[in-house]
């Protein structure tokens, strides 16, 4: 976002043009799930973006992570777009229920969000692009373990995504860095809610 302004009670954000396709379009173009290596690279880059947002003071919670808001450029760079419902995080403050069915975490439906809400939505996004199972077409908050759908996926990636999708926020990785360390290095797998896939 490079600028913002108001005009006659309408609010505008100015953003750079991003060449490429969003992840929804990428899935359609490939005719199925994305390769594991690409998903890991996308996840790593999104962890960097969320790490930056969550590290601001006050913390910025994105609130709308989903494949159609993640652009992939021809050079493989990931860009997060559409900050329309992002908000500053304030402890113990309730807001409006907003987000995308299938990708928004349970607590967001009660108007409660914190950085772990973005971790859930990232897990839902990665689950979809890795397995091809669109969560909008199934009952909310029902994600089969990754390796039930793609047994060949690495333990670290599958366990990190499964842990991010815990129904209770306290059972998810506490920070985006913990999620990233689990995904890339297997740290924390088998601790708390994060179980290795067999």
Among residues 190, 192, 188, the alpha carbon closest in space to that of 176 is found at 188
What is the pLDDT at residue 15?
A: 76
Residues 164, 119 contacting (CB under 8 angstroms): yes
Which range, of 16-20, 98-102, 146-150, 168-172, averages the lowest pLDDT? 98-102
pLDDT tens digit string along 43-98? Answer: 999 999 999 999 998 888 888 999 999 999 999 999 998 765 544 444 444 445 46
Strands (DSSP E) contained in the chain are 3-7, 10-14, 21-22, 60-61, 70-72, 78-80, 87-88
In whole angstroms, give the CA distance from residue 4 to residue 15.
9
The model's pLDDT over 6-40, given as tens digits with 9 standing for 90+, comes to 999 998 978 788 899 999 999 999 999 999 999 99
Cβ-proximal residues to 37 (8 Å cutoff; 6+ apart), any chain: none
Q: Which residues are catalytic?
A: 64
Average pLDDT, the chain: 88
Number of H helices, E strands in the chain: 6, 7
User: Model pTM?
Assistant: 0.85
What integer pLDDT is reported at residue 92 of this predicted model?
45
Q: What are the backbone dihedrals phi and psi of residue 85, each rounded to the nearest 5 degrees, phi first?
A: -115, 10
* Cα 3 to Cα 12: distance, rounded to the nearest angstrom: 8
Three-state DSSP at 166 gives coil
pLDDT band at 1 (very low <50, low <70, confident <90, very high): confident
């Amino acid at each position: 976002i490079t600028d913002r302004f108001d005009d006659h009670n309408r609010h505008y954000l100015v953003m750079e043009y991003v060449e490429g396709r969003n992840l929804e379009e990428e899935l359609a173009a490939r005719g199925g799930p994305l390769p594991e290596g690409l998903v890991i690279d996308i996840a790593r880059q999104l962890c960097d973006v969320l790490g930056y947002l969550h590290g601001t003071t006050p913390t910025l919670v994105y609130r709308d992570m989903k494949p159609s808001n993640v652009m992939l450029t021809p050079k493989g760079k990931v860009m997060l777009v559409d900050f329309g419902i992002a908000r500053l995080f304030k402890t113990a403050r309730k807001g409006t229920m907003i987000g995308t069915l299938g990708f928004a975490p349970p607590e967001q439906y009660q108007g409660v969000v914190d950085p772990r809400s973005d971790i859930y939505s990232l897990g839902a996004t990665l689950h979809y692009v890795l397995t091809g199972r669109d969560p909008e077409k199934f009952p909310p908050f029902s994600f089969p373990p990754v390796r039930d759908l793609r047994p060949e996926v690495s333990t670290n990636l599958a366990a990190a995504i499964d842990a991010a999708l815990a129904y209770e926020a306290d059972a998810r990785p506490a920070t985006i860095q913990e999620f990233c360390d689990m995904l890339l290095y297997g740290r924390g797998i088998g601790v708390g809610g994060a179980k290795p896939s067999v």
